[in-house]
Structure formats: structure tokens, C-alpha cells
Amino acid sequence: MAQLVPAIAKLCGARAVIAPIDNTAWLPQGMANQLQRELDALGVASVFPKPFC
């Protein structure tokens, strides 16, 4: 599911993404790094707050 974030951000014209990490099993650090690189390439700002509260 997380792999879809860059495509969805591009389709809807998002300028930023907030993807909270409550459980690293849902979004491991390596995947968060990959998403951040892909979003950066699209010009979309991103943050991955942990924990999200």
C-alpha cells in the first residue's frame, strides 16, 4: 500500500505528504526512505512522524 503513495500524490497534485509511523511493521524505515526519495523526485515534501500523536 505504501508503494502507491508517490503515484497518488502525483495524480492528485499534492504538494506535501504526512505519513505517520505508529508501527514500524507497517512502514519500515527503509520503505520510508524510499518513499521520501521518490516524493522528493516529484517535488512533493514529505514527513514521517514517529510516533504520531
pLDDT per residue as tens digits for the range 9-51: 999 999 999 988 888 888 899 999 999 999 999 999 999 998 8
Residue 24: partners with Cβ closer than 8 Å, 6 or more residues away: 50
Is 34 within a domain? yes
Separation between Cα atoms, residue 52 and residue 8, nearest integer Å: 21
Place of cell 521518490: 38
- pLDDT at 2 (0 to 100): 80
Is 52 within a domain? no
The range of the structural domain enclosing residue 27 comes to: 2-47
Domains held by the chain: number: 1
Place of cell 516524493: 39
